[in-house]
């Protein structure tokens, strides 16, 4: 859609139907396109295509104005995905009433004012409340209510996440037994996000999970219909581990799953494993310890490194951070998975704890031995915090003091807390598309308050392009996009190191300038009366032009 390849997009939708999809989910949420216009345009194309027109449609957006525009394009009965109680009962009921009046069924996500329902009890509590409001106050047909109790990522390396799949299955059974005629759905791909890059493992997890969830009453799911892995196709050992994990949510089963995934992954540091340890340089041993998440010889290696490196901080900023950087590269290439990333972060924390007495002594009375203070928040309108929590753990393990403000945090509070705590870095998190606009709003308000603290933005919908075009231009502070959890400590270390900060920020600004120049669609032009219309790029980037960054050259 971004590339205006509508015929290709329509062919993809048609293939979904041929592959067995009973409903086609259409989502145009993206920070760089007009979702409302593109949704209407594409639905009209689908309506004219016999292959897609015969299949019911699910209108999927986190922006209600997009949903309303879509419903005006549909003759049959669609499904709206989704509404929730996160903004309170009155907004929820008003929007649900409009969905009902326009003849659609409704997916209700298990979110409320407190955030995303993760546990069994919270999932059931939120869904029961929504069911009661819809049926008793609106007279909503219960056959048209579809609950999504949140399929969340398991086997992240964090013990509290191990029961997420079991909690979903238990909630599904409870909702089907106690909320008459309502359906239960789930976005299955979330389950296996820890193992992105290992497609066979992900599809195997989905197949076994669906088997357990369908037995519990799951009657809808968002899946890839072309997946070829079935329950009976799954390797016996893997199926046993998954059956155990989905039956009791044990930490042992989650750990076994992580080990199974590791059998097929390459950490890129096996070449010298057969060598004697003393033959390997200590810096390389420390790097390997981080990448493998193996702290068995950490104490003796750090003791040896103390005789090689002048300062303890040099060990952290040298081989240990090189290891963290290597982890980020492997994770981005799909050669390392999330539980392994969390494991490496814990080894990093172990290393920092071992070095801490020496760091404190070298600080000569400094009041703190942390690497820096970081303020974290999921922005207003967004209740997702699983990814943010993982990033917080990774940063804490890298010796950063993390202040977590939680979810649905208004811009005004972020400004107030930034003034109060004086953090070295502010991290903004968001999963849904409206969060992108709110991040820009937060950046603008911080700038107006005179807060020049560097910003790191991250989350599923964020991108370097959006950051360059929409967020960076509204603030004088550096703004960096983090693609995944493993990048945050590397970015933070570069921003807080006086020797690397200026060059790093200069490099980021040059990348953003290139992105803006590449996306420029208008040029300076003159009307018949000779008046000048300035290009959008020149307006939003006037600050950098005036600062002399272009060394006297026009940004064009």
- ∠ CA 397-371-296, nearest 5°, is 40
User: Cα(386)–Cα(175) distance, rounded to whole angstroms?
Assistant: 23
Helix H or strand E encompassing 15: helix 6-18
**Which of the following is catalytic: 435, 463, 466, 541?**
435
- ∠ CA 19-25-26, nearest 5°, is 120
Contact 412, 445 (CB under 8 A): yes
Q: Answer yes or no: 19 catalytic.
A: no
Task: Kindly give the residue spans of alpha helices, DSSP state H, lying in 222-311.
Answer: 236-248, 251-263, 282-292, 298-306
User: Tokens 């107006």 belong to which residue?
Assistant: 448
Contact 442, 414 (CB under 8 A): yes
Residue 204 makes CB contacts below 8 A (sequence gap 6+) with 229, 233, 234, 235, 238, 239, 242
User: Would you say the C-alpha torsion 152, 153, 158, 163 has a positive or negative sign?
Assistant: positive
Q: Answer yes or no: 212 catalytic.
A: no
User: Cα(195)–Cα(126) distance, rounded to whole angstroms?
Assistant: 29
**Which of the following is catalytic: 206, 384, 466, 481?**
384
**Which of the following is catalytic: 29, 112, 301, 382?**
382
User: Tokens 């090189």 belong to which residue?
Assistant: 322
User: Would you say the C-alpha torsion 390, 391, 393, 397 has a positive or negative sign?
Assistant: positive
Helix H or strand E encompassing 88: none
- H helices then E strands: how many in the chain? 23, 15
Q: Answer yes or no: 301 catalytic.
A: no
Helix H or strand E encompassing 533: strand 532-533
User: Tokens 């570069």 belong to which residue?
Assistant: 494
Residue 204: left (phi > 0), alpha (psi -120 to 50), or beta? alpha
The long-range contacts involving 308-315, CB below 8 angstroms and separated by at least 24 positions, are 308/282, 308/283, 311/362, 312/355, 312/358, 312/359, 312/362, 313/359, 313/362, 315/286, 315/351, 315/355
Please identify every residue annotated as catalytic.
Answer: 382, 384, 435
């Amino acid at each position: 859609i971004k590339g205006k390849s509508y015929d290709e997009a329509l062919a993809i939708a048609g293939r979904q139907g041929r592959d067995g999809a009973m409903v086609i989910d259409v989502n145009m949420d993206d920070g760089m396109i007009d979702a409302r216009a593109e949704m209407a345009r594409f639905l009209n194309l689908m309506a004219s295509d016999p292959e897609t027109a015969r299949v019911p449609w699910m209108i999927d957006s986190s922006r209600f104005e997009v949903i309303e525009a879509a419903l005006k394009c549909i003759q049959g009965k669609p499904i709206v995905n989704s509404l929730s109680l996160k903004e309170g009962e009155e907004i929820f009921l008003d929007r649900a009433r409009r969905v009902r009046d326009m003849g659609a069924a409704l997916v209700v996500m298990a979110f409320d004012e407190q955030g995303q329902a993760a546990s069994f009890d919270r999932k059931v509590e939120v869904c029961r409340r929504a069911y009661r409001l819809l049926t008793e106050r609106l007279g909503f047909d219960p056959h048209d209510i579809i609950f999504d109790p949140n399929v969340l990522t398991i086997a992240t390396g964090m013990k509290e996440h191990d029961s997420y799949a079991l909690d979903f299955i238990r909630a599904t059974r409870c909702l089907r037994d106690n909320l008459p005629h309502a359906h239960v759905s789930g976005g299955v791909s979330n389950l296996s996000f820890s193992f992105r890059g290992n497609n066979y493992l992900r599809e195997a997890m989905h197949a076994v999970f669906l088997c357990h969830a369908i037995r519990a009453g799951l009657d809808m799911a968002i899946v890839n219909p072309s997946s070829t892995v079935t329950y009976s196709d799954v390797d016996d050992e893997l199926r046993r581990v998954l059956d155990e994990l989905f039956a009791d949510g044990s930490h042992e089963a989650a750990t076994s799953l992580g080990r199974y995934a590791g059998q097929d992954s390459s950490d890129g540091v096996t070449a010298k494993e057969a060598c004697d340890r003393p033959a390997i340089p200590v810096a390389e041993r420390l790097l390997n310890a981080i990448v493998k998440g193996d702290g068995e010889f950490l104490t003796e290696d750090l003791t040896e490194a103390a005789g090689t490196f002048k300062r303890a901080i040099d060990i952290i900023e040298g081989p240990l951070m090189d290891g963290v950087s290597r982890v980020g590269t492997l994770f981005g290439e799909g050669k390392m998975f999330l539980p392994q990333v969390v494991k490496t972060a814990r080894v990093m924390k172990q290393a920092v704890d071992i070095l801490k007495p020496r760091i404190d002594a070298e600080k000569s009375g400094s009041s703190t031995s942390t690497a820096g203070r970081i303020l974290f928040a999921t922005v207003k309108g967004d209740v997702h915090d699983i990814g943010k929590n993982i990033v917080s753990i990774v940063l804490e393990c890298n010796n950063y003091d993390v202040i977590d403000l939680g979810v649905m945090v208004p811009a005004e509070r972020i400004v107030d807390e930034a003034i109060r705590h004086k953090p070295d870095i502010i991290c903004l998190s968001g999963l849904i598309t409206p969060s992108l606009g709110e991040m820009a709003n937060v950046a603008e308000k911080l700038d107006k308050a005179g807060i020049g603290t560097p910003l790191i933005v991250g989350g599923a919908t964020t991108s370097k392009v959006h950051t360059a075009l929409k967020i960076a231009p509204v603030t004088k502070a550096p703004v960096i996009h983090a693609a995944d959890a493993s990048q945050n400590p590397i970015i933070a270390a570069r921003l807080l190191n006086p020797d690397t900060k200026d060059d790093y920020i200069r490099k980021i600004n040059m990348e953003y300038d290139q992105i803006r120049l590449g996306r420029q669609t208008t040029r300076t032009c003159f009307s018949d009366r000779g008046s000048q219309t300035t290009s959008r790029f020149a307006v939003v980037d006037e600050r950098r032009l005036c600062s002399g960054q272009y060394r006297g050259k026009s940004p064009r």
